Each structure stands twice: as C-alpha cells, then as structure tokens.
Amino acid sequence: MVFVLSPTGKPLKPCRNVIARLLLKTGKAKVKYKHPFTIKLLDEPQMLKLLQSAKQNEQANSPS
C-alpha cells in the first residue's frame, strides 16, 4: 500500500502499488516521502476519480 496526499497536502485513502506506479509514470503524482512511501497528487479532480474507480474495480474483482 502507498499513502496518498491531495494537492493541498490532505491525506487520502492509500492506494495499491500498481496504481501509484501508474500515477508516477504518467506524471500525475510525485514522490513526497520515501519512508513511509507517500505520493502527492498533482491534479486532484481526475486523480480522485481514478482512485475511486480503481477501488471499485478492486472490490468487484475480489472473491467473496
């Protein structure tokens, strides 16, 4: 799990490593701290939608 900060610095829900790597690779987030590993989003509205959709997909794909 990777900790996530909003562009204003407020903590958001942690995300999976895969999502964090995608955000960093596309330039939509930057590394804020290395210990514990934390990223900071650069553009809030799109990133929140992405994180929410990723969370919904994760819940839909998890075995019940």
Mutual angle of helices 44-61 and 17-25, in 10-degree steps: 150
Which pLDDT belongs to residue 10? 92
Q: Where are the domains of the chain?
A: 2-61
pTM exceeding 0.75 = no
Chunked into runs of 10 residues, the chain (64 residues) has average pLDDT values of 93 94 93 96 71 74 66
Q: Is residue 27 within 8 Å of 60, Cβ to Cβ? A: no
